[in-house]
């Protein structure tokens, strides 16, 4: 298995190539090109080395890049990173199943899914810790709505896609839910979804 060539940056020693992704125009900021290219080169090397320790699906999901003018378009890079994460997750699933067996993998995934379900089944407005009264956090009603959809997915298989979870965004409010907790739960949902393939 190889990473799709669209995600790989051009070899800097060869003839000049067009940018790997569309570039932002005007005042719009995008991801800093060298940081993206370096990360994707690292991902390609780790994937081709077939090492499950060098880089993980979680590393890909949590990658962050500086924002600059005339950078790579964020949506295009995020979509490519999603495909790279999918490839790493599939390889990790195969590796885990071959070393520990399908039963161990299923049980681990079931436990992670139950932890998430326990969290999103808490009463609305009390599912996550709150930011301080004078601090901003994610809007409670929006997070609770997404939490309800996740609960439906985990409990009864209601349709939710990995891309929907990856692309969810919340507005801010004073005293809202703490961003770090919500983001960690969404990362966990993605992990479970990728684990079940």
Q: Is 164 exposed, middle or buried (0-12, 13-18, 19+ CB in 10 A)?
A: middle
One domain, residues 76 and 122: no
DSSP at 14: S
Q: Residue 138: beta bridge partners? A: 172, 177
Residue whose structure tokens are 């139950």: 114
Report the number of distinct structural domains present in the chain.
2
Residue 153 confidence (pLDDT) above 50: yes
And the tokens for 194? 């990728």
Residue where a domain terminates, one of 99, 123, 147: 99
Mean pLDDT, residues 50-55: 72
Q: What is the pLDDT of residues 85-136, one digit of tens each?
A: 888 888 887 887 777 777 777 777 888 899 999 999 999 999 999 998 889 9
Does 72 score more than 60 pLDDT?
A: yes
Specify whether 94 is located in the same domain as 108.
Answer: no
Based on the number of CB atoms within 10 Å of its own CB, is 52 exposed (0-12), middle (13-18) or buried (19 or more)?
A: middle
Q: State the residue range of the domain holding 34.
A: 5-99
Statement: residue 9 has pLDDT above 60: no
Residue 17's pLDDT band, with cuts at 50, 70 and 90, is low
Both 95 and 106 in one domain: the answer is no
The answer on pLDDT for 2 being more than 60 is no
Q: How confident is the model at residue 29 (pLDDT cuts 50, 70, 90)?
A: very high
Query: How long a stretch of residues is the chain?
Result: 197
Looking at the structure, tell me whether residues 116 and 39 fall in a common domain.
Answer: no
Across residues 57-67, what is the average pLDDT?
89
pTM of the model: 0.65
Which of 99, 126, 143 is where one domain is finished? 99
Judge residue 80's burial from the number of C-beta atoms within 10 Å of its C-beta, 0-12 exposed, 13-18 middle, 19 or more buried: buried
Domain end: 99, 115, 148, which one? 99
Query: What is the pLDDT, as a whole number, of residue 145?
Result: 96
pLDDT of residue 24: 92
Residues 124 and 178 in one domain: yes
pLDDT exceeds cutoff 80 at 197: no
**Would the pLDDT of 12 be above 60?**
no
Residues 45 and 130 in one domain: no
Report the pLDDT value the prediction gives residue 106, as an integer from 0 to 100: 74
Q: Are 185 and 112 in the same domain?
A: yes
- Does one domain contain both 88 and 112? no
Q: How confident is the model at residue 66 (pLDDT cuts 50, 70, 90)?
A: very high
pLDDT of residue 94: 82
Give the pLDDT mean for 16-28: 83
């Amino acid at each position: 298995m190889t990473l799709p060539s669209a995600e790989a940056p051009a070899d800097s020693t060869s003839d000049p190539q067009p940018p790997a992704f569309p570039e932002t125009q005007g005042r719009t900021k995008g991801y800093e090109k060298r940081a993206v290219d370096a990360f994707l080169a690292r991902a390609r090397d780790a994937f081709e080395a077939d090492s499950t320790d060098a880089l993980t699906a979680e590393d890909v999901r949590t990658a962050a890049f500086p924002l600059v003018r005339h950078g790579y378009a964020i949506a295009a890079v995020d979509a490519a990173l999603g495909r790279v994460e999918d490839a790493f997750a599939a390889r990790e699933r195969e590796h885990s199943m071959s070393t520990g067996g399908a039963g161990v993998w299923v049980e681990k995934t079931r436990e992670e899914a139950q932890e998430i379900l326990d969290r999103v089944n808490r009463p609305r407005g009390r599912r996550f810790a709150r930011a301080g009264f004078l601090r901003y956090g994610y809007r409670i009603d929006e997070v609770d709505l997404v939490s309800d959809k996740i609960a439906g997915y985990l409990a009864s298989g209601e349709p939710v896609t990995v891309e929907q979870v990856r692309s969810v965004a919340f507005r801010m409010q004073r005293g809202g839910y703490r961003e770090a907790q919500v983001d960690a739960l969404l990362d966990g949902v993605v992990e479970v979804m990728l684990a079940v393939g």
